[in-house]
Copies of this chain bind each other. A is one copy, B any other.
Amino acid sequence: MMYCYLNGQIMPTDNASIKLNDLGLLRGYGMFDYFRTYNSQPFKWDWYWQRFEQSAHTLSLKLLLTQTEAAAIVSELLQLSGQVDAAFRFVLTGGYSPDSVRVIEPNLAIICENLRTENAVLYEKGIKILPFEFVRDLPEIKTTNYLNMIRLAAEMQSQNASDLLYFKDGEVSELTRSNFFIFKGDTLITPNRHILQGITRRVVLGLATAHFKVEVRPLLYSELAEADEAFTTSSIKWVLPIVQIGRQLIGDGAVGHRSKLLLELFKKETELL
């Protein structure tokens, strides 16, 4: 059985519930973060916590836990799960509101979830994604607004695609839940704006500098035609190769050796904890 923390109490997740007047539910006023452990330790925990704190600050939501208190809860939930590793979802909402507008006291949940990993075949074959004209509002915050991702799930499935690539005014930003990179030769390029500052993105950029030229800058949609490789990064996807965007093949449509190298480097990084 999996457990969660909700507003001061630890309980089986199946028993946890929130009332209907929560502003996350009624108004989409909520944010979250998501990370996993390796060898029972939260990976890059400091960075995740900082991002969570910053997002809470931007939404003017009080965080009623310190990092140390949160770490103790994460540790307890992992033990209760009986598993070596797990994923954790932090959810902070505007809380219960008397008039469905005013924030009184946030609701905070820390949910311990079974680890999900991508199908190993995808790392060999790469994925197809679909371009979608959109830019997230407040992209620097991991808000709970994922309308497009869910609304277009059937369309993606019908086109055998795994995700959407957001672009707007000719500029590429990110996938629905992960960051985006391309290689032009030995130059690695990733957008610098209209994105969530992903933790895996940050790790990969750090690893890449020893092997490639790195450019963090606005990336034009038109540049995709010149890309030799492309991939996406997230805490669950690691470095997942992208071989097709809409009808356009990336490079020769096969997974490239540079993306493979970054995937190997990232895996090593997680094992080194």
**Could you list which residues of chain A lie within 8 angstroms of chain B, going by C-beta atoms?**
4, 6, 13-14, 16-30, 32, 58-60, 89, 91, 93-94, 99-103, 109, 111, 116, 134, 137-138, 143-151, 153-154
Contact = CB atoms under 8 A, between A and B. Distances in A.
A32 B22 CA distance: 14
Nearest to A15: B19
A232 to B, nearest CB: 16
Given A17-B18, A102-B153, A134-B137, 18 more contacts: A13-B20, A13-B21, A16-B20, A17-B17, A18-B18, A18-B25, A20-B111, A23-B150, A24-B25, A25-B144, A27-B144, A27-B145, A28-B28, A28-B144, A58-B151, A99-B116, A101-B150, A137-B148
Given A59-B151, A101-B153, A154-B60, A145 B28 contact: yes
Contacts of A137: 134, 137, 145, 147-148
Contacts of A21: 13
A25 B14 contact: no
Contacts of A18: 17-18, 20, 25
Contacts of A4: 20
A111 to B, nearest CB: 6
A91 B60 CA distance: 25
Contacts of A100: 89
11 contacts: A17-B20, A25-B30, A25-B91, A25-B144, A26-B91, A27-B150, A28-B147, A101-B150, A137-B145, A137-B147, A145-B147
A93 B25 contact: yes
A143 B32 CA distance: 19
A150 B94 contact: yes
